[in-house]
Structure 1
Amino acid sequence: MKERGIIFNSEMVRAILDGRKTQTRRVMKVQPVLNGNWWEAYGAAWGKENKSVPVVPCHSLANNCPYGQVGDRLWVRETWQGPLVDSEKAYDLFKDPAPYQKVENCVYKADGGHAPEYIDFDDKFRQGWRPSIHMPRWASRVTLEITDVRVERLQEASDDDFKAEGYPLERELTGGSTDPFCWFRHLWNSISKPECNFESNPWVWVIEFKRV
């Protein structure tokens, strides 16, 4: 079993914590190329009509999946701040931060609070969040176990798949359509690069997971 970090924005972290998100789709950096009647990528090939392909252990696709294989784990990187301690512990923190590098000494943007205020190591007053890309393993509060991996065209997802991507609760929908397809298309286009938007229908890694 291997562990890898994976970034989610605050909206998706909330969906994971709520149990609404059990899938994630990520664009394949190497897009399959159509060669006659076969799609080809990473030394693997599948029929032109196949829009979804399981990624099985020891297969070349599995060996090249950047997110791992079934049974591997993903630790979630999210927007955060920490470690934060009370003023009477500040000196000890600055002297040796290691004992305070724990989840309970962190705050997370996904929880909906205001950006924290704190004194930094240079004794300067600060306010703000640290970006998810800089989150170390010790600060991650969410670990996921991969239960299935496949590659497929983005538009092949079903309504059930769209909902498993973190479809919001009815009370959280604000304006626009409540249709899962429209919701996911808007979500995808809001976070993807223009050349990989929903309409371009890229091949994606589909990672299904459960929280552990």
Structure 2
Amino acid sequence: MKKIMFNDKYGLTQAVLDGRKTMTRRVCKYDKPNETYDIVFPVFEPNDYDNDGNIVSPLNYAFSWKNDKGDFTGWNIPKYKVGEVVAIAQCYKSLGMNPELALDDKDGIGFYTKTKFAPGWENKMFVRADLMPHHIRITDIKVERLQNISDEDCMREGVEFSQEQYKYDGAKSYFVQNITEIGSRWNRMFCKHFGTPRGAFAALIDKVSGKGTWESNPYVFVYEFELVD
């Protein structure tokens, strides 16, 4: 089973578990090099289909860029497939697992190994998917430019509407939490409430994917999903 990671600092893992976040965008590996390149899709052969007519090729939903000279960028292949159940990565410590429980794990990514904690104890990048208690199911995949996101999809990405701010001054206000600052103060960037969902999402994507991501407007895989457990 595969696993998927959501940003904890800005509350996205919790947003998924709460059912507020039902969509995620991941930047494609190959962007359009220049205007001489056109988008191309794989051509499937009979053996790329199963007996029910479903595409089983690893290039399903893949695309690439190619110019009239035949220059080819390589395939952008989605990491997940429609219908696939994926484990939500959470570090062992956050799940309250026993740190002294030693696993027979050849990769050394159990909870506790000999005299030190394994990486998965505090870093969910190294956890085992089969030990994760929560899962999502991929329900749809599409490709689009990042800035083509709608206000509705911004909300499905984890942006929240501030009822308190609306009651205070009557203005619509949208924000994304910085979990590390709750209880002390809001992160300076995110104590600012945005007038539109897109404004809040643009700030969020620059935080989780790197400064300038929104402005560069890359092509992204859009994964829609539902919480399984």
Relative to the length of structure 2, the TM-score reads: 0.61
Supply the distance in 1 between the matched residues of 2:209 and 2:148 (Cα, whole angstroms): 17
Where does residue 158 of structure 2 map in the other structure? 166
Matched, 1:19 2:19: yes
Supply the distance in 2 between the matched residues of 1:207 and 1:74 (Cα, whole angstroms): 12
Where does residue 77 of structure 1 map in the other structure? 89
Supply the distance in 1 between the matched residues of 2:134 and 2:154 (Cα, whole angstroms): 22
Supply the distance in 1 between the matched residues of 2:206 and 2:196 (Cα, whole angstroms): 16
Gaps of 5+ in 1: 45-55, 99-105, 107-118
Number of equivalenced pairs: 168
The sequence identity of aligned pairs, in percent, is 31
Q: Secondary structure at the match of 1:144?
A: strand
Give CA deviations for 1:79-113 in whole Å, capped at 9, x if unaligned.
4426316xxxx5xx35xx46xxxxxxx9xxxxxxx
Cα 1:187–1:79, aligned 2, differ >3 Å: closer, same or farther?
A: farther
Supply the distance in 1 between the matched residues of 2:161 and 2:35 (Cα, whole angstroms): 43
For 1:158, the aligned partner's letter is: S
Supply the distance in 2 between the matched residues of 1:24 and 1:38 (Cα, whole angstroms): 25
Cα 1:138–1:72, aligned 2, differ >3 Å: closer, same or farther?
A: closer
Q: How does 1:174-193 map onto structure 2 within 5 Å?
A: 174-193=191-210
Q: How does 1:1-212 map onto structure 2 within 5 Å?
A: 3-10=1-8, 11-33=11-33, 36=36, 38-40=38-40, 43=42, 57=55, 60-62=59-61, 65-81=77-93, 83-84=97-98, 93-94=101-102, 97=103, 121-122=114-115, 130-168=122-160, 170=162, 173=175, 174-194=191-211, 197-212=213-228
What RMSD in Å do the two structures reach over aligned CA positions?
Answer: 3.4
Supply the distance in 1 between the matched residues of 2:142 and 2:22 (Cα, whole angstroms): 14
Higher helix share: 1
Gaps of 5+ in 2: 44-53, 63-75, 105-110, 165-173, 176-190
Cα 1:8–1:39, aligned 2, differ >3 Å: closer, same or farther?
A: same
Larger RCO: Structure 1 or Structure 2 (Cα < 8 Å, ≥ 6 residues apart)? 1
Q: What is the CA distance between 1:141 and its match in structure 2?
A: 2.1
